Amino acid sequence: MRYISTRGDARPRSFSDCLLAGLAEDGGLYMPESWPHFPATEWRALRGLPYPELAARVIAPFAAGSLDLPTLERLCHEAYAGFDHAAIAPLVEIENGLFALELFHGPTLAFKDMAMQLLGRLFDHVLTERDETVTIVGATSGDTGSAAIEAFRGSARVSVVILHPQGRTSEVQRRQMTTVRDANIHNIALDGTFDDCQDMVKAMFADLPFRDEVRLSAVNSINWARIAAQIPYYVRAALAFGAPENPVSFAVPTGNFGNVLAAWAASRMGLPVRRLCIGSNRNDILTRFLSSNDMSIRGVEPSLSPSMDIQVSSNFERLLFELLGRDSAACAATMTAFRKTGHMAIPPAAWEKACETFAGLRLDDDETLAEMQRLFRESRYLADPHSAIGLAAGRAGRETGVPMAAAATAHPAKFPDAVREATGMSPALPPRLSDLFTREERYVTLPNDLHAVQSDIRAFLAAR
Ligand SMILES: *Cc1c(COP(=O)(O)O)cnc(C)c1O
């Protein structure tokens, strides 16, 4: 399988090359040159397989030419061995026909683990084959940083540097990052905001000599391998509901559009997906797009669901590419204009096509708390704010006779304050994290200054 850029001006690459590159050199996102299509017999053959084996077979056509099936099976087994639930991504019935697809049973209690745990193994495998090393640098407001640290800890070929805004992440989130003691992990608390952290990472990537010197790499949500690793749980859920014979709908609390894009990719592979319902908080650029074909950038406002506090959804460009009939010139022009004007409207026929599958629902913080309360009162289900938004979107988009599975993307113990406010309950951390608050933390605090950060990273790498 080869990968092409949504903007059409980068040379096609293999799965492994896209894994290490992340973004295409023309600023576009990598997409598979064609969609693998599974006939009904192949879907049926996946029924009942243990999760890691199912995942390997779903991912295999995307990795063809880079990794063979036995290698993928081994890496998937390793990736999902550290999950707390035997089913890896269990389905829990909430009310008649509405299910929670729980994606938070990995080491950092959020759905990012589903892809990141595999990404860690994929990086190690490919880098060992090539006898190379890289330094992954990332900015985080919470979930992505801890998922990356857990996925890459102990790696001999990957060093990880994560910048978080000092004093602006939750204590659970900070401690999940700063209490990891492996020598290849380095945490920087930056004196600034999350945007400052992101700008700092961008500045390091723009400094080409530095970029080459430390061999910078990234694992942000536009990395194709992350999307590929998120497809299997939708397949698993659909099979449980009787696919390929019977359809299923999904609801997904959405930020950068990566998770819901994976569900859409499953439908491109031939899985009968009826509807995809997007839940957003008050940062509702996507739900506004779906209701009026107007995507316009506004400032980010903090909410109870911080992992969805986004200004633009970076992975939307992949859907746009498809809606425009894979016309990369049109896609590039649309994205350039969007960056310049802050507005995007797409051709009406393309927008109508999106609306055939996608629907959106927006919840502000009060509505989110009310939904969390309702889920607990009526179903005894403790949902974190992100999962509650997904479940509300699922309830709104449900049709009779079609099961609806809503992605539950974070464990309620990750957001204890909101859960307590809504339900009066204090969700307990799972046993593996029960001593989180007594573990020793390790991080450096740095000013918002590029040279200070770069020399600190050089010193960290030299000491490894
Ligand atoms: C990252 C994240 C999301 C948003 O997922 P996208 O792929 O960015 O749309 C939702 N909920 C939680 C808990 C997350 O960590």
Domain of residue 326, CATH code: 3.40.50.1100
Atom 11 of ligand 1, nearest CA residue: 409
| pLDDT for the residue 247 | 98
Number of domains in the chain: 1
Name the token pair of 179.
């209490």
| Structural domain boundaries, residue 391 | 91-109+224-423
108 Cα distance to chain centroid: 13
Whether 329 maps to a domain, the answer reads yes
Beta strand pairing call for 273-280 and 295-296: unpaired
Whether 276 maps to a domain, the answer reads yes
pLDDT in tens, the chain (464 residues): 999 999 999 999 999 999 999 889 898 999 999 999 999 999 999 999 999 999 999 999 999 999 999 999 999 999 999 999 999 999 999 999 999 999 999 999 999 999 999 999 999 999 999 999 999 999 987 788 999 999 999 999 999 999 999 988 888 889 999 999 999 999 999 999 888 998 899 899 889 999 999 999 988 889 999 999 999 999 999 999 999 999 999 999 999 999 999 999 999 999 999 999 999 999 999 999 999 999 999 988 989 999 998 888 999 999 999 999 999 999 999 999 999 999 999 999 999 999 999 999 999 999 999 999 999 999 999 999 999 999 999 999 999 999 999 999 999 999 999 999 999 999 998 988 889 999 999 999 999 999 999 999 999 999 98
Residue 186 neighbours by CB under 8 Å, 6+ apart: 159, 160, 161, 162, 444, 457, 460
| pLDDT for the residue 464 | 85
Whether 372 maps to a domain, the answer reads yes
Whether 382 maps to a domain, the answer reads yes
Q: Which atom of ligand 1 is nearest to the CA of 387?
A: 11
Residue 311 neighbours by CB under 8 Å, 6+ apart: 283, 285, 297, 298, 299, 300
* Distance between CA atoms of residues 105 and 430, nearest Å: 9
* Distance between CA atoms of residues 204 and 190, nearest Å: 14
Whether 399 maps to a domain, the answer reads yes
Residue 208 CA to ligand 1 centre (angstroms) = 30
Reported pTM: 0.96
| pLDDT for the residue 408 | 98
- Ligand 1 pocket, residues with Cβ under 6 angstroms: 110-112, 143, 221, 253-259, 307-308, 386, 409-410
| pLDDT for the residue 173 | 87
Of 150, 259, 314, the residue with max ligand 1 atoms within 8 A of its CB, to mutate for a pocket test, comes to: 259
Active site residues: 112
Please report how the helices 316-323 and 348-357 are oriented relative to each other, as an axis angle in degrees rounded to 10: 120
DSSP, collapsed to helix, strand or coil, labels residue 17 as helix
Whether 97 maps to a domain, the answer reads yes
Whether 240 maps to a domain, the answer reads yes
Whether 412 maps to a domain, the answer reads yes
